[in-house]
């Protein structure tokens, strides 16, 4: 091999054009705390945007206060204050020094010279058009004030304070009650305004996200010599409270209740009407509560103070916790009940943990389950397959419906009072249906329909309540709205759907409200049991109103007939008198009448009968006919149809013994004078 003259170098491997793919990193399993989940999905709890967040914060705090007062049968006194906080004040609260802008073009609200020139030219052109129209005598609209350029970074902050006279909270429980998501006292099968322990905690999470400021809580229980004060925020990643201050302070006034204060970003301008509408509807459904609402602003003309006074001291009974209906449970719930039960055998478990399951019925069910089951078998020894068998039998077997004794509806009395207090209608009718069942859960529908009133628009004004909470959003898809618009023939009840001012109030209470969507803002129209109950309730109110409206129409027609007859009395009097006078003259020349006719003609000739006398007699006759028609109508209608007037008696001060007598129309209170005993 010749190597001397060779100039070739050893062969090198070719370089690849494509890069060698890197080895993928192994994914790491991570977990999120409940607080972190809801902070990332805050729309689930109603914190979609700053305006909705302000509304939801007010709503959650008010409802917690009502629950707290009602739990100890205390007439609620609730004060809500929204204080507007300016940018300078907010910066001082968080210890931030205002920084002057250096590079104006960096900001979103910066207006370039070209844009400013264009805007000024447009404003000048509009002013020229306005002046030209004014000189020609044409009507011109007032020029709108130029809108300020607001950047996305401009935020509005508010301090929301809610104070009540409720139960208060134990000192040691306060941090977890406000700083740990999905912890609360309302778990269990019970009619409640809230259930998942999200309300005030979401306000705290929103405060932490938008302002970084903690929440402040003051609380004291009855006959407690101290007030608990706590300032805290929440560790979102670990779902635990981060306590700044937790101390006991003197309670010289012996106040009991809770006061919660939170600073959040919000939007009062766009949600002002929603918040005030919510407070008004809450005053309708809870006329036994006293609300004081304040909006405080540096601009005096923007500040608002509204007092919703108490109208009655009759409170609905406190809802009681009930047991599950066999047809309303699933496998997970059966397993949880087995794990938590204190009963030893299967027979005792079925009797104790479920409603409408007596001993005889439970024994029949166990006999139907198969040879592997017996009444005395240990309930803790049930296998997964046996639990599935129990669940299958629960779904197939027949059970009595649960009663509505565990529910606490507002009551016709309170609903009527609330409507009258807030709307001042011309007439109102209310109806409370009997308890019905949907998927093993009892529910009660109450309704009220009013006609006329103050601050009520023409047409249908629909007010919806679920477990005595006003529902303000998603109205179009709600079962109440669709029933009122599509399933009620208003004209058949003498009500004009477009011209009359109609208020439709429907309150649904249940141990489980079947809300649609994540925001719990409406009840779907696809549940036939609820849709049918809502329709019947509204129709019953309309039937009551129809009788009142018919009476009103008849009375109006009667008055119209009376006015018509009275208008013709002078003409008829003249005509009759002229005829009688002509007859008297003819009778004087030639006797043409005898008996009573002759006597009448003679009286006319002697002027014993005059025009004035005839007119008075005709007037009396019209009055008599009017009275006889009214009397005849009353006899046919019956005494029960007579109009009733609501009478409200102011509650007496002091501690007195009394007995309440309830009926569908009113509550009579009999006081006992103990001083004479």
> Residues 198, 57: contact at Cβ < 8 Å?
no
Does 603 or 284 have the greater pLDDT score? 284
* Predicted confidence (pLDDT) at residue 375 exceeds the cutoff of 70: yes
Does 625 or 279 have the greater pLDDT score? 279
Query: Do residues 363 and 443 share a domain?
Result: no
Q: Is 199 assigned a ligand-binding role in the annotation? A: yes
Sequence-separated (6 or more) residues with CB below 8 Å from residue 423: 284, 450, 453, 454, 455, 456, 503
- Is 300 among the domain residues? yes
Lowest mean pLDDT among 106-110, 448-452, 461-465, 530-534: 106-110
* Predicted confidence (pLDDT) at residue 197 exceeds the cutoff of 60: no
Query: Do residues 524 and 444 share a domain?
Result: yes
Inter-CA distances, 411 with 65, 160, 512, Å? 21, 31, 19
What's the CA gap between 494 and 556, in Å, rounded?
14
Q: Is 201 assigned a ligand-binding role in the annotation? A: yes
Tokens of 268: 């009062």
CATH code of the domain in which 537 resides: 3.30.230.10
- Is 86 among the domain residues? yes
Sequence-separated (6 or more) residues with CB below 8 Å from residue 470: 277, 278, 281, 282, 285, 463, 464
Q: Is 433 assigned a ligand-binding role in the annotation? A: no
Q: Is 198 assigned a ligand-binding role in the annotation? A: yes
Phi, psi of 479 (to 5 degrees): -60, -35
Tokens of 491: 């004209």
* Predicted confidence (pLDDT) at residue 523 exceeds the cutoff of 60: yes
Does 210 or 151 have the greater pLDDT score? 210
Mean pLDDT of the 526-540 span:
91
* Predicted confidence (pLDDT) at residue 409 exceeds the cutoff of 50: yes
- Is 107 among the domain residues? no
Query: Do residues 538 and 560 share a domain?
Result: no
- % the chain with pLDDT above 90: 24
CATH code of the domain in which 175 resides: 3.30.565.10
Q: Is 141 assigned a ligand-binding role in the annotation? A: no
Lowest mean pLDDT among 8-17, 244-253, 337-346: 8-17
Phi, psi of 343 (to 5 degrees): -80, 150
What's the CA gap between 34 and 44, in Å, rounded?
13
Query: Of 378, 366, 412, nearest to 663 (Cα)?
Result: 412
* Predicted confidence (pLDDT) at residue 244 exceeds the cutoff of 50: yes
Query: Do residues 84 and 69 share a domain?
Result: yes
What's the pLDDT band for 185 if we cut at 50, 70, 90?
low
Q: Is 478 assigned a ligand-binding role in the annotation? A: no
- Is 446 among the domain residues? yes
- % the chain with pLDDT above 70: 82
Q: Is 132 assigned a ligand-binding role in the annotation? A: no
What's the pLDDT band for 641 if we cut at 50, 70, 90?
very low
Query: Do residues 208 and 267 share a domain?
Result: yes
What's the CA gap between 204 and 215, in Å, rounded?
6
- Is 126 among the domain residues? no
What confidence score (pLDDT) does residue 90 get? Answer: 82
Query: Do residues 341 and 439 share a domain?
Result: no
Domain that holds residue 88: 34-92+155-308
- Is 14 among the domain residues? no
* Predicted confidence (pLDDT) at residue 580 exceeds the cutoff of 70: yes
Does the pTM exceed 0.85? no
What's the CA gap between 523 and 516, in Å, rounded?
6
Beta bridge mates, 264: 158
Q: Is 195 assigned a ligand-binding role in the annotation? A: yes
Query: Do residues 522 and 571 share a domain?
Result: no
CB burial class (10 A; 0-12, 13-18, 19+) of residue 566?
A: middle
Q: Which of 116-125, 377-386, 615-624, 634-643 has the highest mean pLDDT?
A: 377-386
Does 514 or 639 have the greater pLDDT score? 514
What's the CA gap between 460 and 507, in Å, rounded?
16
Alpha-carbon torsion 42, 48, 50, 53, what sign? negative
Query: Do residues 540 and 556 share a domain?
Result: no
What confidence score (pLDDT) does residue 241 get? Answer: 86
Lowest mean pLDDT among 283-287, 384-388, 595-599: 595-599
pLDDT tens string 214-237:
999 999 998 899 999 999 988 888
- Is 57 among the domain residues? yes
* Predicted confidence (pLDDT) at residue 652 exceeds the cutoff of 60: no
Query: Do residues 221 and 81 share a domain?
Result: yes
Lowest mean pLDDT among 22-31, 117-126, 433-442: 22-31
Mean pLDDT of the 588-614 span:
76
* Predicted confidence (pLDDT) at residue 195 exceeds the cutoff of 60: no
Q: Is 164 assigned a ligand-binding role in the annotation? A: yes
Tokens of 429: 């009718």
What confidence score (pLDDT) does residue 119 get? Answer: 83
* Predicted confidence (pLDDT) at residue 366 exceeds the cutoff of 50: yes
Q: How many domains does the chain fold into?
A: 4
Sequence-separated (6 or more) residues with CB below 8 Å from residue 280: 308, 422
What confidence score (pLDDT) does residue 288 get? Answer: 92
* Predicted confidence (pLDDT) at residue 372 exceeds the cutoff of 70: yes
Sequence-separated (6 or more) residues with CB below 8 Å from residue 660: 314, 667, 668, 669, 670
What's the CA gap between 124 and 467, in Å, rounded?
57
CATH code of the domain in which 356 resides: 1.10.8.50
What confidence score (pLDDT) does residue 5 get? Answer: 47
Inter-CA distances, 217 with 35, 162, 170, 230, 625, Å? 19, 10, 12, 5, 72
Q: Is 226 assigned a ligand-binding role in the annotation? A: no
Mean pLDDT of the 337-360 span:
88
Q: Is 519 assigned a ligand-binding role in the annotation? A: no
Inter-CA distances, 129 with 116, 338, 480, Å? 20, 81, 50
Q: Which of 493-502, 556-565, 641-650 has the highest mean pLDDT?
A: 493-502
Q: Which of 396, 431, 447 is the last residue of a domain?
A: 396
What confidence score (pLDDT) does residue 298 get? Answer: 85
């Amino acid at each position: 091999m010749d190597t001397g003259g060779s100039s070739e170098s050893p062969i090198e491997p070719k370089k690849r054009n494509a890069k060698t793919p890197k080895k993928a990193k192994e994914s790491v399993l991570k977990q999120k705390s409940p607080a972190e989940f809801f902070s990332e999905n805050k729309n689930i709890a109603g914190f979609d945007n700053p305006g909705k967040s302000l509304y939801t914060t007010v709503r959650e705090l008010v409802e917690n206060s009502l629950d707290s007062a009602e739990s100890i049968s205390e007439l609620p006194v609730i004060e809500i204050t929204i204080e507007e906080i300016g940018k300078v004040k907010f910066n001082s609260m968080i210890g931030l020094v205002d920084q002057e802008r250096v590079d104006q073009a960096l900001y979103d609200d910066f207006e370039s010279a070209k844009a400013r020139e264009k805007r000024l030219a447009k404003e000048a052109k509009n002013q020229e058009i306005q002046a030209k129209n004014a000189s020609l005598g044409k009507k011109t609209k007032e020029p709108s004030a130029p809108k300020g350029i607001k950047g996305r970074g401009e935020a509005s902050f508010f301090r929301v304070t809610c104070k009540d006279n409720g139960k208060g909270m134990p000192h040691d429980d306060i941090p977890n009650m406000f700083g740990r998501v999905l912890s609360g006292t309302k778990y269990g099968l019970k009619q409640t305004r809230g259930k998942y322990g999200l309300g005030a905690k979401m306000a705290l999470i929103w405060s932490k996200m938008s302002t970084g400021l903690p929440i402040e809580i003051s609380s004291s229980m009855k006959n407690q010599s101290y007030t608990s004060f706590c300032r805290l925020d929440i560790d979102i990643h670990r779902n635990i409270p981060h306590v700044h201050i937790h101390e006991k302070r003197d309670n010289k006034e012996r106040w009991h209740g809770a006061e919660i204060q939170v600073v959040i970003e919000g939007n009062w301008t766009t949600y002002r009407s929603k918040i005030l509408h919510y407070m008004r509807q809450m005053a309708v459904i809870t006329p036994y509560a006293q609300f004081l609402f304040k909006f405080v602003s540096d601009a005096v003309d923007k500040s608002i103070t509204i007092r919703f006074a108490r109208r009655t001291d009759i409170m609905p009974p406190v809802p009681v916790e009930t047991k599950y209906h066999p047809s309303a449970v699933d496998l997970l719930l059966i397993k949880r009940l087995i794990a938590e039960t204190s009963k030893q055998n299967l027979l005792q478990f079925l009797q104790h943990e479920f409603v409408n399951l007596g001993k005889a019925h439970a024994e029949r069910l166990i006999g139907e389950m198969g040879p592997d089951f017996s009444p005395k078998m240990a309930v803790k020894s049930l296998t997964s397959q046996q639990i599935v068998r129990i669940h299958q039998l629960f779904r197939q077997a027949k059970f009595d419906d649960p009663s509505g004794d565990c529910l606490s509806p507002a009551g016709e009395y309170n609903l009527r009072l609330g409507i009258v207090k807030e709307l001042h209608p011309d007439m109102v009718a209310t109806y409370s249906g009997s308890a019905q069942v949907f998927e093993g859960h009892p529910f009660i529908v109450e309704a009220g329909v009013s006609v006329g009133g103050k601050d009520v628009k023409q047409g249908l004004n629909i007010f919806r309540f679920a477990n005595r909470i006003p529902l303000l959003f998603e109205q179009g898809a709600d079962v109440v709205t669709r029933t009122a618009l599509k399933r009620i023939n208003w004209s058949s009840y003498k009500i004009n759907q477009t011209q009359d001012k109609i208020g439709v109030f429907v309150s649904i209470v249940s141990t489980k409200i079947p809300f649609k969507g994540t925001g719990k803002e409406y009840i779907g129209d696809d549940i036939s049991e609820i849709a049918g109950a809502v329709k019947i309730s509204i129709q019953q109110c309309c039937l009551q109103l129809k009788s009142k409206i018919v009476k009103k129409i008849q009375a109006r027609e009667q008055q119209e007939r009376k006015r018509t007859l009275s208008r013709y009395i002078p003409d008829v009097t003249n005509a009759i008198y002229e005829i009688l006078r002509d007859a008297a003259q003819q009778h004087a020349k030639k006797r043409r009448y005898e008996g009573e006719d002759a006597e009448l003609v003679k009286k006319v000739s002697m002027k014993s009968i005059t025009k004035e006398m005839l007119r008075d007699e005709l007037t009396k006759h019209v009055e008599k006919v009017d009275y006889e028609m009214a009397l005849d109508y009353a006899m046919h209608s019956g005494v029960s149809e007579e109009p009733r007037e609501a009478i409200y008696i102011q509650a007496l001060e002091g501690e007195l013994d009394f007995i309440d007598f309830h009926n569908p129309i009113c509550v009579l209170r009999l006081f006992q004078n103990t001083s004479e005993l």
